[in-house]
């Protein structure tokens, strides 16, 4: 009888050990699941929450958006959206304004649409933009020389790189002309020119594209 009791005791001990093991496993799995859910919620909040906020902001300026398929990201499609009537290129949307204004007023108009005057970072971007322009007009860029000391600055604080500039020959050439425009000069070339900020010109607005 003693041996049988000892056997039952060992069996009970093994059983309790297995129960504890399974309990630990279940609790661990529950904690992992909770962490995963929290992670998903946080990711959704920061990713899709920001997208939703940006879409909401755009809808306050624009009645409709146009979205373009831009390939796939893992298993889901990626869509890039711009306001209707804006042009899509790279990660940005562009609007060609045919309303002539001073530089400051042109920038205010862009801000009023959730954008800013265009910032040109690459030759490919410049080539795309000039395809949308009318050779008869000059267009303000988001580029200024506030002090007239040849320290040109982009409106969005993008560093002004000497190797990414498209001035016409011998431009800029006058310190009192503290704003930049893009203009077509013969023979057959678009380029930048320094101009008076209080002159009236057309303009180009740029905003970041929304990706869904």
Q: Do both 128 and 186 map to the same domain?
A: yes
Total-model pTM: 0.70
Domain membership flag for residue 204? yes
Q: What share of the chain is helix, strand, coil (3-state, %, to 5)?
A: 35, 30, 35
Cα(51)–Cα(211) distance, rounded to whole angstroms?
8
HSE value, Cβ hemisphere, 13 Å, CA-based, for 8: 4
Domain membership flag for residue 100? yes
Domain membership flag for residue 151? yes
| C-alpha torsion sign, points 157, 160, 164, 169 | positive
First vs last Cα of the chain: how many Å apart? Answer: 74
pLDDT digits (tens, 9 = 90+) for 133-160: 999 999 999 999 999 999 999 999 888 8
The angle subtended at Cα 102 by Cα 96 and Cα 105, nearest 5°, is 75
Number of domains in the chain: 2
pLDDT digits (tens, 9 = 90+) for 52-105: 666 666 666 676 788 877 776 665 667 888 998 899 999 999 999 999 999 999
Domain membership flag for residue 160? yes
Q: Do both 57 and 90 map to the same domain?
A: no
């Amino acid at each position: 009888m003693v041996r049988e009791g000892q056997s039952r005791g060992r069996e009970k001990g093994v059983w309790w050990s297995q129960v504890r093991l399974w309990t630990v496993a279940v609790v661990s799995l529950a904690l992992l699941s909770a962490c995963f859910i929290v992670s998903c919620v946080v990711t959704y909040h920061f990713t899709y929450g920001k997208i939703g906020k940006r879409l909401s902001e755009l809808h306050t300026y624009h009645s409709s958006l146009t979205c373009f398929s831009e390939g796939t990201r893992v298993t889901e499609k990626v869509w890039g959206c711009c306001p209707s009537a804006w042009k899509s290129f790279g990660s940005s949307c562009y609007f060609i304004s045919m309303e002539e204004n001073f530089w400051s007023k042109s920038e205010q108009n862009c801000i009023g649409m959730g954008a800013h005057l265009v910032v040109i970072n690459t030759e490919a971007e410049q080539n795309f933009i000039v395809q949308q322009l009318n050779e008869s007009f000059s267009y303000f860029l988001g580029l200024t020389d506030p002090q007239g000391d040849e320290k040109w600055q982009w409106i969005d604080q993008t560093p002004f790189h000497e190797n990414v500039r498209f001035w016409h020959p011998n431009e800029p050439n006058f310190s009192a002309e503290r704003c930049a425009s893009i203009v077509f000069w013969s023979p057959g070339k678009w380029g930048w020119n320094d101009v008076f900020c209080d002159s009236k010109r057309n303009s180009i607005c740029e905003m970041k594209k929304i990706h869904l």
